[in-house]
Structure 1
Amino acid sequence: MTPANGTPVRVGVFGLLGSGNLGNDGSLEALLGHLRAAHPEAVVDALCGGPEAVTARFAIPATRLHWYRGEYRTASRAGAIAAKGLGKLLDPFRTAAWVRRHDVVIVPGMGVLEATLPLRPWGFPYALFLLCASGRLLGTRVALVSVGAAGIRQRSTRVLVRWSARLAAYRSYRDAPSRDAMRAMGVDTARDEVYPDLAFSLPAPPAAAPRGPADPVCVGVMAFHGGNDDRARAEEIHRRYLDQTIRFVRALVEEGRPVRLLTGDGVDAPVVDAILDAVDSPLVTAAEVTSLADLMRETAAARTVVATRYHNLICALKVGTPTLALTYAAKSEALMDRMGLGAYCHPAHEVDADRLLHQFRALERHSAELRSTLAERNLIAARQVEQQFTALTAALFPAAAPTLDHAHAHTVDHAHDLREAP
């Protein structure tokens, strides 16, 4: 990790980190754990959404992603509109100056190549394009590592995402549908690999032995309004999601089941409040979670989990708790399939409390065998994430790459070749 001139390799990390999304911060935590163990001499800093939070939690210097602090708020006043426009002119120079200071920039996990939730093209997609274009122009290797992707209909967003992927020096995906989506958008993915989400490398508490119905059911909720293509009926989708989730929680309470509400982003708090107000029972409580470690502790203590957010699902599956997914994108279905629970998916766009209860009871009937399945699949996922980190080292830090056996040689070749990918 230290070149011949004795200067430590300078590594930048990039993304909407420190902005309240636990999954994004968990991806950063996983990457930093690897870098500190495998490349301790690397000098690491971040260009991110919440620099103060990232520095406080992870002890690395951080710079604000956008010049304009209100980038992700709707600008209605003339001054705000002008400031946001000025930011679009200044951000290319800010991004290029930051990229120039690094040997390598890593985008750790996250759904950076998708628009499965509402997304404006000139927000994060534009920022990612600036990063990848700057890396190509300045000779800094940019790696998109175990990222999520999905088909995008909006033309401007699709163009920005496609060119971001093309300009990156290294690409890998957290599931096969992500790679398929990029191929469909015109990216050559012939040498791109698929690995599990980086969060599978995080340490997990042991799953508690289930005692019976007295154990809580964790229900992970989300401020869900559909995706980019659902803006016209966003409130209708949200109302149905909330009403049917309330019905489901109320049915559990009527059976005497304790329910523990989980979130994955600060924006989810109003949904928790609405459920607590509507059900109004001491059996329903809300967990205070600030990290994926918190989520894993909560889900490890649960008998079963029903969750919407992707990293709520990962945390529950990683600790081996039988889980039912309210899915809003192919990534959730792919994750459940990978972990052997593909039969336990329910559409978040069209939640039906009665059908959800039916699926939930089937999940609990098969709890013992599902725990066994999850234990096996987690071992496989952990090995595959280690292969991802090995491939990343070979691609970005070739002087530090370990000698690999023949079975992994194709991974190293693939990673090396992607350094020159168009």
Structure 2
Amino acid sequence: MTPVRVGVFGLLGSGNLGNDGSLEAVLGYLRAEHPEAVVDALCGGPEVVAARYDIPATRLHWYRGEYRTASRAGAIAGKGLGKLVDAVRTAAWVRRHDVVIVPGMGVLEATLPLRPWGFPYALFLLCASGRLLRTRVALVGVGAAPIGDRPTRALVRWSARLATYRSYRDTLSRDAMRAMGVDTARDEVYPDLAFALPTPSARTSGPPGPVCVGVMDFHGGNDDRARAEEIHRRYLDGTTRFVRALVEDGRPVRLLTGDACDAPVVAAILDAVDSPLVTAAEAASLADLMKEAAAADAVVATRYHNLVCALKVGTPTLALSYAAKSDALMDRMGLGAYCHPAREVDADRLLEQFRALEKRSAELRQTLTERNLAAARQLRHQFTALTEALFPATDHTHTPTMREAP
């Protein structure tokens, strides 16, 4: 039999650890359940993906400056030409595959600054090519949110409609797509794909651990561009004051990131606090982030997948929430009371919430143990459903698992 040809698609290998963690989870599924599959990627960082995951990879955009601001005539012309070239390149790539998987990520949302002719256009080209060329395209465990910008909303809506299979990482995402006019009657909700990754061993003894503080180069969302610098300043000032208060209490602090663009925020906090108690982790994967979180007494974090990593290893966690997806994740894991708005970081109030979190540490660790067992069962069902939808000719026997009610 001819091996099934599977493509993976997205802003992978571009420095965002959450995106790459979603890819890693899907590759783990494919290698375990479909070892005969021939896999390659169309992605943002092909060199990184090829080296790290040992699969062939092609650059997502023909124009290399796609995500840089174009001010000169040559750059503007290059971007415009790139849109036409990418339509042909994407269709040619899709044609070579039986199945294309978009692994997780917030591909149907605009909670961070986003232009319609960047990734939303690329996703539309993928899904439209899949429909025209009869290649099954699956949006697996993706995030979605209401979108105000009309061109972006239209591209996202049509991408979802044209996909063969859709599942979401929370009910808010499914509800958002339904509100945008997508028929979600057959779409299911499962935990984030990163919950399927291996879990490092938890720290069981030894001296008290640090407090991990996950930071982000946060400037608000797609609708906050006019206030972006003000939002960033408030976020940085509030987070820095919180870290300083922890240090004044004698607590060691470990700064975490989730994207290469977060480095300036780490540097600013290190410079402002200037204490040997504050150190920065150099995480290259979600596995590295999970090890940091497992060694900590508690975690306070902004990026969605910083939260996922901390919750997965069972460490009491407080979210500096910048979008409804963070609140939904915390509520799903039993820590809904421990959210603080990233747009209005109040260091004094945050410190109060943190102390309340630590007082319930033992109870919350038990809650997280139970919620993680449920997440693992639900994700096993996600992968069973994916096999049934995308690999109907494959004969696999799976143990029945719990399915989340719609």
The aligned residue for residue 417 of structure 1 is none
Among 269, 282, 286, which residue is 2:263 paired with? 269
Aligned: 1:233 with 2:248: no
Give the Cα–Cα distance (whole angstroms) in 1 for the partners of residues 309 and 271 of structure 2: 27
The aligned residue for residue 286 of structure 2 is 292
Q: 1:115 to 1:204 in 2, by over 3 A?
A: same
Secondary structure (helix, strand or coil) at the match of 1:8 reads coil
Amino acid at match of 1:273: A
Amino acid at match of 1:291: S
Structure 2 portions without partners, runs of 5+: none
Give the Cα–Cα distance (whole angstroms) in 1 for the partners of residues 315 and 399 of structure 2: 34
The aligned residue for residue 341 of structure 1 is 335
Aligned: 1:320 with 2:314: yes
- The answer as to whether partners of 1:220 and 1:306 remain within 8 angstroms in 2 is yes
Give the Cα–Cα distance (whole angstroms) in 2 for the partners of residues 288 and 338 of structure 1: 29
- The answer as to whether partners of 2:190 and 2:404 remain within 8 angstroms in 1 is no
Secondary structure (helix, strand or coil) at the match of 2:138 reads strand
The aligned residue for residue 139 of structure 2 is 144
Structure 1 portions without partners, runs of 5+: 1-5, 415-422
Among 171, 175, 181, which residue is 2:176 paired with? 181
Aligned: 1:224 with 2:225: no
- 1:156-167 matches, cutoff 5 A: 156-167=151-162
Q: 1:10 to 1:120 in 2, by over 3 A?
A: same
Encode CA deviations 1:84-104: one digit per residue, 9 max, x unaligned: 110011110000000000000
- State the TM-score, normalizing by the size of structure 1: 0.94
- State the TM-score, normalizing by the size of structure 2: 0.98
Secondary structure (helix, strand or coil) at the match of 1:260 reads strand
* TM-fit CA distance, 1:210: 6.0
- The answer as to whether partners of 1:394 and 1:401 remain within 8 angstroms in 2 is no
The aligned residue for residue 257 of structure 1 is 251
- The answer as to whether partners of 1:390 and 1:401 remain within 8 angstroms in 2 is no
Give the Cα–Cα distance (whole angstroms) in 1 for the partners of residues 226 and 210 of structure 2: 37
- The answer as to whether partners of 1:210 and 1:303 remain within 8 angstroms in 2 is no
* TM-fit CA distance, 1:405: 7.5
The aligned residue for residue 378 of structure 1 is 372
Secondary structure (helix, strand or coil) at the match of 1:285 reads strand
* TM-fit CA distance, 1:402: 3.2
Amino acid at match of 2:124: F
Q: Structure 1 runs of 4+ off > 4 angstroms?
A: 403-411
The aligned residue for residue 197 of structure 1 is 192
Give the Cα–Cα distance (whole angstroms) in 1 for the partners of residues 249 and 195 of structure 2: 34
Q: 1:410 to 1:209 in 2, by over 3 A?
A: closer
Q: What is the aligned residue count? A: 406
* TM-fit CA distance, 1:410: 11
- The answer as to whether partners of 1:218 and 1:302 remain within 8 angstroms in 2 is yes
Give the Cα–Cα distance (whole angstroms) in 1 for the partners of residues 225 and 59 of structure 2: 29
Give the Cα–Cα distance (whole angstroms) in 2 for the partners of residues 21 and 407 of structure 1: 31
* TM-fit CA distance, 1:215: 1.4
Give the Cα–Cα distance (whole angstroms) in 2 for the partners of residues 260 and 211 of structure 1: 17
Amino acid at match of 1:260: R
Amino acid at match of 1:231: R
Amino acid at match of 1:227: G
Aligned: 1:302 with 2:305: no
Give the Cα–Cα distance (whole angstroms) in 2 for the partners of residues 264 and 196 of structure 1: 19
Amino acid at match of 2:373: L
Q: Percent identical across equivalent pairs? A: 83
Cα-Cα RMSD: 1.5
Amino acid at match of 1:161: V
Give the Cα–Cα distance (whole angstroms) in 2 for the partners of residues 410 and 141 of structure 1: 24
Secondary structure (helix, strand or coil) at the match of 1:331 reads helix
Aligned: 1:124 with 2:119: yes
- The answer as to whether partners of 2:381 and 2:401 remain within 8 angstroms in 1 is no
Q: Which moved more, 1:394-403 or 1:302-311?
A: 394-403
* TM-fit CA distance, 1:249: 0.1
- The answer as to whether partners of 1:114 and 1:152 remain within 8 angstroms in 2 is yes
* TM-fit CA distance, 1:408: 7.2
